[in-house]
Structure 1
Amino acid sequence: MSTYTHEFRRSVEQPETFWAEQARRIPWFKQPQAILEYDEAQHARWYGDGELNIAYAALDYHVEQGRGDQPAVLWDSPVTDSKRTLTYLEMRDQVASFAGALKEMGVEKGDRVVIYMPMVPEALVAMFACARLGAVHSVVFGGFAPHELSVRIEDAAPKVVIAASCGVEVNKVLPYKPIIDAAIEQSAHKPDACVIFQREQHVAELGARDHDWATVVEKASPADCVPVKGTDPLYVLYTSGTTGKPKGVVRDTGGYAVALAYSMDAIYDVAPGEVFFSASDVGWVVGHSYIVYAPLLRGATTIVYEGKPVKTPDAGAFWRIIEEYRVKSFFTAPTAFRAIKKEDPDGKRLAEYDISSLKALFLAGERLDPPTFHWLDDLLDVPVIDHWWQTETGWPIAANLHGLEPMPTKAGSATVPVPGFDVQILDREGEPMNAMEQGAVVIKQPMPPGCLTGVWGDPERFHSAYMAAFPGYYLTGDGGYVDEDGYLFIMGRTDDVINVAGHRLSTGEMEEVVGAHPAVAECTVIGIHDALKGQLPVGLVIPKDGFDGREVELEEELIALVRDKIGPVACFKQVLVVDRLPKTRSGKILRKLLRNIADGQEYAVPSTIDDPASLEEIHDTMQAREVGASGNARLTDGP
């Protein structure tokens, strides 16, 4: 029996024994005895009687073990031409001081703190400072507009908001303070205070509620680590939902720490003292897990990179980072390499750098298309590893476990389920599917440590969104299949959440914005294939009677509206005005059918559509506007 097979079987057949062993990777204040329990809704809860503090485990502990002078954080900011190194000792001291400042503002265990920061070391300091106090942080991606920020402030009800004075996008400075002020104005909840980290690229004018970061830190006394239970929440991270209202994914502390520590060893093969580079943002789950927490729990060095090769683009940016900092393991989204491939199709820039330190490249966040996989596989002398996970799980569901037992790669596959994730493929009736048969990808309970433990303030939504469809299983929302070798293939979402450059976005939320325009009678937003970003949203709108035909102006207004309400992260840049939309007799718009037409698939017209001719109109409109991947969609006779 292989190492992987043995470990996987133990993890699903004896989960308590397996995860009790993995818990030893973490320095607990009180070792857990109750490894696995279930709440009243029969959802798994891990390490409920254990006590720890993740800031202590990631910082103080390593200082005590003699790693105080080792680099913990390497900040590289090509957009500001800046670099910094923070050792474990420096990080611990800065976190303790900032935690003391928050404590003097009244932040206590269980309080929420919203963080709106760019990719600067202070973002990590803020997150660890919250964790040091037992407060619950909620990081919001800096690309979100005031409305999106206000929704999260209102839902999380933070005592304090922490922000930088600005972000920097390539060569453009984006002031954050006006966004924060507008968001608080729109929110029914008003935080007690805002702490602003002033950047030299733009100094914000502070108001009555605001505090200067440097000033409050200078006056503060360092705060000690507050012990929390293994099941106490560490953070709330909002992710798109099909209703349009973001879901606040709740992550516990103990299970998350154990899962991340295990994954750094078993999946990424990173040891203490080695350098791990994840080219993501702290506003997303990848940033939380594999920029902030996992590398430092492991005693490794993490890179905080403030730059976007996708937008610059600098085809040699990643190779420079790998050479300069001797990166062992690198993790990013396929979108980044599709942009690099476009700029440097022959990989000539790679020859300029020595990347011999690199042992593996990991890709996730969206589908790794086979052409990009093969391009990278031909270009590099290291394994190119696709792996699959979600905001909700917090760490990989399926991967090629490079640190446990490397396996041959297959284009289009995330390889095999990670120990702890009992992944199964079910049909609509909940029956298991055979190899090579597509169905719903689900995970049998108990979910392993580190996965979401609820939706903030809405336990019923947690159950209805994830657990109700197939009792005893977590619904991933993805469809896929397993081949004869046990390799898992993820084929795409089964709901109305789309993936734009690795960022999950709700088409329902965009529909709410578009539908609010006074000229729009009816609308839908669908995701279509895009060669660079994976998917892009396209709006289809039916104007109200009396519309004067100013389609270009309407398109511009709707694009601006979505940008204002959601932010540029939505990449909403195309609107089609149509006469009708295909519907069922009950009035439901057939979004899946529209998506398939847009992506150039042959599709039969279902008998349940009231007006099949409307499909022809939409198809012709899409053809005329060159929407879709192939532009050769055609309709066939249906039943």
Structure 2
Amino acid sequence: MSENFDVKLDNKSHLPEYSYIDNTWMGRYEPAYRRFLDDPERFWSEIAHELDWIKPWDKVLEWNHPYAKWFTGAKLNITCNCLDRHVLGDRRNKVALIWRAENDLEERVMTYRQLHTQVMRFANALKNLGVKKGDKVCLYMPFVPEHVVAILGCARIGAVHTIVYGGFGADALNSRIRDSKAKIVITADVSYRRGKAIMLKSIVDEAITNAPSVEKVIVLRRSNLNVELIQEKEVDFYEIMEQAENYCEPEEMDSEDPLFILYTSGTTGTPKGVVHTCGGYMVGTYYTTKYVFDMRDTDVHWCTADPGWITGHSYIVYGPLATGATVLISETVPDYPDPGIWWKIIEDIGVTIFYTAPTSIRMFMKYGEEWAKKYNLDSLRVLGSVGEPLNPEAFEWYYRNIGKSKCPIIDTWWQTETGMHMIATLVGEKMKPGFAGKPIPGIIADVVDKDGNPVEPGIGGILVIKTPWPSMMRTIHNNDERYRQYWSGAGGYYTAGDLAVKDEEGYIMIIGRADDVIIVAGHNIGTAEVESALVAQEPVAEAAVIGKPDVLKGQSIKAFVTLRVGYEPGEQLKNDLIYNVRMSLGPIAMPSEIEFVDTLPKTRSGKIMRRVLKAKEMGLDPGDISTLDE
């Protein structure tokens, strides 16, 4: 970033209903944050003491920049906290998982007792195949209950899981298997998406042809296609379960032992294998699930992500199960068979906490509010947003139409690398559309210049985390130098790669990725700001902005726009959109071009891949597009 830049801030806010104030696990933000600052290690120690440990820690934190060790000397098994402690207590027969099929006709329910037994059987099945502590297991599965069983089965015996989203192709799967040196691959015959069967096993067959580490492939046969297995290498999921014992002693894991490797997907280059460890990750995901979502024993939690993303790891599997929640999982996409399917599921199941992506919210805006009005959403108590900045227009639509102007919206900023929520507006606190919120207690975040000096409110800068936190990644698999780069700039703080701005009250707005800044005539323009100004206009459903080389200005702005149903592209509309951006942000931020498109290129986690648009525009190779949806 060549310089800092002014950002126009809107002071609009919403106060939560009185019933949400002073009635949360966290309590009011300011006292809670002061308690953390007064003694950070005591703060984290008290959280960790809410969980079960085989052996307590000798020291809360060892920090040797840029390397952290949390709860050193402690022994644990994360599945004991996700399962055993509930089964041995009052939640034994509480519903742990509710699964809804894409066709909305099939539903399965598992109690904590049933899930516990299934996990232990699968853990023993893995051991019978020769899997040991530290071995790598790759999961390439549809989103069914067996996926959760497999994840926890790996953790039970100390096998390091690496989950690959079931929409990736063979090349992407192969690269992750090879980098992790996975010994076992777990898959299924098919997954279902928009009514079509996707043949997962045939993709695995191709992916392992040049992956010598793979010894066995476990196949979950869920269709009537009678998929044949190759005897030497392939085994049936339920056949190996039937041959396994019911009880599996949890492997004693050191706090710093690796739990999983997750390969990032996003807008930049080759995926990185982010390594998370057992103890700190457990504490961080438990803490944020309970205290940020304000999770109650009566809640039904639905996070619409997939286990293949960090959101699925942290806020479908480990965090909610550690708190003893009832978790809804579903194969459904938001607009199939119609744009009301998610609202129907919320009504049917009685979902109380709903956590989704701004991309989905903007898609619902495109279809209109009528779909949501068809269903009773009164069960909802807390709404969440994840994956990218929630623009003010989407916030307002979500707040009014889904939350009925009463549910708090928790707009969470965090990353694969952070493992847990870092910045959010806590339940009961004043919400500001467009602002993620403040650093949660436990996190010290700031907006700084390139030298690490704090910038004034209203001035854009680099978002940094100043001190370590328990669920932080420990390294990049096979590339520790890449890990160290996160801590090498901006005063030696953890640099997230995002640009942000703070207001006078300390609320932080995420402007966009640092590599998504367009420099027009010496002025830094954040893509998110221009996109937000476009989406604020009634006809626009979604927008993506890129910079193009310009002889006079250095770069000019081009926007790609999808329209809501009922609007047609045309020159007059194009001129109106450009004019309104000028009136909102000033002439320097006006797009020089607008192209109307049917869809935007996105990762499967919903992030717009601007570099693909830019490469196409300039006739360049887009690089690794293994994370591209469709």
Normalising TM by the smaller chain, what interval? 0.7 to 0.9
Report 1:484-633 matches (<5 A): 484-495=504-515, 582=549, 593=555
Partner of 1:393: 418
Report 1:422-437 matches (<5 A): 422-437=444-459
Report 1:45-60 matches (<5 A): 45-60=69-84
Report 1:275-290 matches (<5 A): 275-290=300-315
Equivalent in 349, 354, 372 of residue 325 of structure 1: 349
Task: For 1:58 and 1:415, locate their aligned partners in 2 and report how far apart those are by CA, in whole Å.
Answer: 29
Partner of 1:192: 215
**Which residue identity lines up with residue 452 of structure 1 in the other structure?**
M
Report 1:60-459 matches (<5 A): 60-79=84-103, 81-187=105-211, 189-200=212-223, 202-207=225-230, 208-222=232-246, 223-240=248-265, 244-310=269-335, 312=336, 314-343=338-367, 345=368, 347-379=369-401, 380=404, 381-402=406-427, 406-446=428-468, 448-459=469-480
Task: For 1:260 and 1:341, locate their aligned partners in 2 and report how far apart those are by CA, in whole Å.
Answer: 31
Query: Does the aligned pair in 2 maintain the 1:386–1:414 contact within 8 Å?
Result: yes
Query: Does the aligned pair in 2 maintain the 1:273–1:299 contact within 8 Å?
Result: no
The C-alpha deviation readout for 1:237-296, integer Å capped at 9, x for no partner, is 111377622111111111111112211221111123421111111111111111111111
**Which residue identity lines up with residue 37 of structure 1 in the other structure?**
E
Task: For 2:150 and 2:32, locate their aligned partners in 1 and report how far apart those are by CA, in whole Å.
Answer: 36
Task: For 2:174 and 2:516, locate their aligned partners in 1 and report how far apart those are by CA, in whole Å.
Answer: 23
Query: Does the aligned pair in 2 maintain the 1:12–1:421 contact within 8 Å?
Result: no
Tell me by how many angstroms 1:205 deviates: 2.4
Partner of 1:29: 54
Task: For 1:130 and 1:626, locate their aligned partners in 2 and report how far apart those are by CA, in whole Å.
Answer: 41
Tell me by how many angstroms 1:463 deviates: 0.5
Q: Secondary structure at the match of 1:420?
A: coil
Partner of 1:572: none
Tell me by how many angstroms 1:354 deviates: 3.0
Task: For 1:54 and 1:627, locate their aligned partners in 2 and report how far apart those are by CA, in whole Å.
Answer: 41
Task: For 1:534 and 1:252, locate their aligned partners in 2 and report how far apart those are by CA, in whole Å.
Answer: 37
Partner of 1:546: none
Q: Secondary structure at the match of 2:515?
A: coil
- Structure 1: gaps (5+ residues): 499-526, 541-580, 585-589, 607-617, 630-639
Query: Does the aligned pair in 1 maintain the 2:54–2:252 contact within 8 Å?
Result: yes
Cα 1:353–1:80 change in 2 (3 A) is closer
The C-alpha deviation readout for 1:28-71, integer Å capped at 9, x for no partner, is 111223110124x5422211211111111101110001322111
Tell me by how many angstroms 1:456 deviates: 1.1
Q: Secondary structure at the match of 1:67?
A: coil
Partner of 2:622: none
Cα 1:583–1:229 change in 2 (3 A) is farther
Cα 1:228–1:266 change in 2 (3 A) is same
Query: Does the aligned pair in 1 maintain the 2:143–2:330 contact within 8 Å?
Result: yes
Tell me by how many angstroms 1:385 deviates: 2.9
Cα 1:341–1:201 change in 2 (3 A) is farther
Q: Secondary structure at the match of 2:345?
A: helix
Task: For 2:251 and 2:300, locate their aligned partners in 1 and report how far apart those are by CA, in whole Å.
Answer: 29
Tell me by how many angstroms 1:436 deviates: 0.8
- Structure 2: gaps (5+ residues): 1-21, 519-529, 562-577, 601-607, 609-630
Partner of 1:474: 494
**Which residue identity lines up with residue 420 of structure 1 in the other structure?**
G
Report 1:11-30 matches (<5 A): 11-30=36-55
Q: Secondary structure at the match of 1:110?
A: coil
Query: Does the aligned pair in 2 maintain the 1:79–1:169 contact within 8 Å?
Result: no
1:462 aligns with 2:462: no
Query: Does the aligned pair in 2 maintain the 1:26–1:57 contact within 8 Å?
Result: yes
Tell me by how many angstroms 1:496 deviates: 6.4
Q: Secondary structure at the match of 2:110?
A: strand
Superposition CA RMSD, Å: 3.2
Query: Does the aligned pair in 2 maintain the 1:313–1:340 contact within 8 Å?
Result: no
Q: Secondary structure at the match of 1:168?
A: strand
Query: Does the aligned pair in 1 maintain the 2:451–2:489 contact within 8 Å?
Result: no
Identity of aligned residues (%): 36
Query: Does the aligned pair in 2 maintain the 1:270–1:328 contact within 8 Å?
Result: no
Task: For 2:66 and 2:407, locate their aligned partners in 1 and report how far apart those are by CA, in whole Å.
Answer: 43
Q: Secondary structure at the match of 2:33?
A: helix
Q: Secondary structure at the match of 2:274?
A: strand
**Which residue identity lines up with residue 454 of structure 1 in the other structure?**
T
Query: Does the aligned pair in 1 maintain the 2:365–2:541 contact within 8 Å?
Result: no
Cα 1:626–1:261 change in 2 (3 A) is closer
Query: Does the aligned pair in 2 maintain the 1:367–1:534 contact within 8 Å?
Result: no
Q: Which has the higher contact order (CA 8 A, sep 6+)?
A: 2
Task: For 1:272 and 1:92, locate their aligned partners in 2 and report how far apart those are by CA, in whole Å.
Answer: 18
Q: Secondary structure at the match of 1:182?
A: helix
User: TM-score normalized by structure 1?
Assistant: 0.77
Cα 1:437–1:168 change in 2 (3 A) is same
Query: Does the aligned pair in 1 maintain the 2:498–2:510 contact within 8 Å?
Result: yes
Partner of 1:502: none
Query: Does the aligned pair in 2 maintain the 1:242–1:495 contact within 8 Å?
Result: no
Cα 1:153–1:4 change in 2 (3 A) is same
Task: For 1:476 and 1:342, locate their aligned partners in 2 and report how far apart those are by CA, in whole Å.
Answer: 31
Cα 1:474–1:533 change in 2 (3 A) is farther
Q: Secondary structure at the match of 2:281?
A: helix
Tell me by how many angstroms 1:535 deviates: 6.3
Cα 1:43–1:242 change in 2 (3 A) is farther
Tell me by how many angstroms 1:349 deviates: 3.6
Query: Does the aligned pair in 1 maintain the 2:358–2:385 contact within 8 Å?
Result: yes
